[in-house]
Amino acid sequence: MTTRLILDVDTGTDDAVAIFAAACHPELELLGVTAVNGNVALKYTIENTLRVLDHIGSDVPAFAGADRPIVRPDMPIPRHILNGDDPQFQVNELDFAPSTTPARPESAVRFLIDSFMADGGDDIVLVATGPLTNLALALGAEPRLAGRIPRLVIMGGARGWGNVTAVAEFNFWVDPEAAEAVLSAGIRDVLILPLDATHSAQLGLEDCDAFDAVGTPAATGSAALIRHRIQHYPDDPAAVRATAPVHDALCIAALVHPEVLTEVVDGTVHVETAGERTLGEMVLDTRPWRDEPTNARVALRADAQIFSRFLTDAFRS
Ligand code: BDR
Ligand code: CA
């Protein structure tokens, strides 16, 4: 059975691998890609998205969305300060040929609303791998939208340590108000893949070699992106080999192989929007006696071998 999906991205090296996998896997039908401000500014996330689609000759439409968080003027701290340590980790433009296909003229928010509100639109899975600004704006503009989205898969948050602050993961931190609005919207099936899951299923150089051996543009393109991630990923003293998380692509693997997520808990999830030191923190409440209803399933561990095999299968197609 084919799963129809829309991807909301801030492309980004790991978003790019997610797009390749979603566009190529035979059990997935990618209907559109919406881009948002995040890893890099919107003009680059949309251009990178188009480059990735062009690289594999895909005619999947791409739409530009929000160029800043819904409340904050830029991000909680300016982008150039955030990326000061290693400006090469997130390059503005991915190393693929400049796009030749333009973005569609409609906004990402319009596309999201129209897709889910259309007849038959309520079987589309939405996978969000960037800050949740586009979706928060769409939910605000169309109150019926939350009830039309059957399943939402989000890369965001951290139960353990964060990757921007001690407790905050990047996607939730960039637009915490949007993340909180999305999680409070009443979407019925929400699956969150925080850093705990993505860090437990890192890919290594041997995975890149395996993708290169597949030889398709998606495979070799992903191998190059993941090697770049490995090269620039901060050293983990506990690591026994050179690896890096490929966060966003794990969301795509979970659509086809739910068993890639080896530990998943039900909980009530909020995102901190006011904390002086905790802005953007994912607050996951799993207390059995909590008085708020469960609003998400949260993956805490994943299997790197299943993930890598999934990508190989996707890239072969
Ligand atoms: C998330 O932040 C972005 O930098 C990545 O693309 C991923 O979606 C990881 O924290
Ligand atoms: Ca991303």
pLDDT digits (tens, 9 = 90+) for 125-137: 999 999 999 999 9
Please state the domain count of the chain: 1
Q: Domain of 10?
A: 3-316
Neighbour tally for 176: CB within 10 Å: 29
The average pLDDT across 156-180 equals 97
Query: What pLDDT, on the 0 to 100 scale, is given for residue 65?
Result: 98
**CA 260 – CA 212 distance, rounded (Å):** 22
Query: What pLDDT, on the 0 to 100 scale, is given for residue 234?
Result: 73
Centre of ligand 2 to C-alpha 46, Å, is 12
The average pLDDT across 14-29 equals 98
Which helix (H) or strand (E) segment holds residue 14: the answer is helix 13-24
Query: What pLDDT, on the 0 to 100 scale, is given for residue 238?
Result: 64
**CA 257 – CA 314 distance, rounded (Å):** 12
The average pLDDT across 158-186 equals 97
* Residue 232 contacts residue 89 (beta carbons within 8 Å): yes
Query: What pLDDT, on the 0 to 100 scale, is given for residue 86?
Result: 65
Residue with CA closest to ligand 1 atom 10: 170
pLDDT digits (tens, 9 = 90+) for 253-279: 999 999 999 999 999 999 999 999 999
Of the candidates 42, 41, 37, 45, the residue with the CA atom closest to the CA atom of residue 13: 45
Residue type, 13: T
Neighbour tally for 274: CB within 10 Å: 7
Looking at the DSSP bridge assignments, the partners of residue 128 are: 8, 154
Question: Where are any strands of DSSP class E within 145-286?
Answer: 151-155, 190-193, 203-204, 243-244, 261-271, 282-285
Query: What pLDDT, on the 0 to 100 scale, is given for residue 289?
Result: 98
The pick from 8, 11, 14 for probing ligand 1's pocket by mutation, whose C-beta has the most ligand atoms within 8 angstroms, reads 14
Ion ligand 2: residues, CB < 5 A: 10, 12, 15, 129-130, 248
> Which residue among 25, 199, 247, 270 is the active-site one?
247
The average pLDDT across 201-216 equals 98
Q: Ligand 1 pocket by C-beta < 6 Å: which residues?
A: 12, 14-15, 39, 129, 155, 163, 169-171, 247-248
Give the nearest ligand 1 atom to 90 CA.
4
> Which two three-digit tokens encode residue 279?
């802005």
**CA 159 – CA 284 distance, rounded (Å):** 7
Three-state DSSP state, 82 = helix
**CA 167 – CA 279 distance, rounded (Å):** 8
**CA 259 – CA 136 distance, rounded (Å):** 29
Of the candidates 115, 112, 121, 120, the residue with the CA atom closest to the CA atom of residue 140: 112
pLDDT digits (tens, 9 = 90+) for 197-208: 999 999 999 999
Dihedral angle sign, alpha carbons of residues 274, 278, 284, 287: negative
- Residues of the chain with pLDDT > 70: what percent? 97
**CA 90 – CA 278 distance, rounded (Å):** 24
Centre of ligand 2 to C-alpha 14, Å, is 6
Query: How would residue 240 be classed by pLDDT, with cut points 50, 70 and 90?
Result: low
Query: What pLDDT, on the 0 to 100 scale, is given for residue 236?
Result: 66
* Residue 176 contacts residue 280 (beta carbons within 8 Å): yes
Inter-axis angle of helices 133-141 and 176-183, nearest 10: 50
Q: Look up 80 and say whether it is catalytic.
A: no
Averaged pLDDT score across all residues of the chain:
95
Query: What pLDDT, on the 0 to 100 scale, is given for residue 89?
Result: 64
Centre of ligand 1 to C-alpha 14, Å, is 7
Query: What pLDDT, on the 0 to 100 scale, is given for residue 239?
Result: 67
**Interacting residues of 236 by C-beta distance below 8 A, sequence separation 6+:** none
The average pLDDT across 91-107 equals 96
pLDDT digits (tens, 9 = 90+) for 44-95: 999 999 999 999 999 999 999 999 999 998 889 888 888 776 666 678 999 9
Centre of ligand 2 to C-alpha 280, Å, is 15
* Residue 183 contacts residue 177 (beta carbons within 8 Å): no
pLDDT digits (tens, 9 = 90+) for 286-297: 999 999 999 999
> Which two three-digit tokens encode residue 81?
């300060």
**pTM tops 0.95:** yes
CATH of the domain at 193: 3.90.245.10
Residue type, 285: D
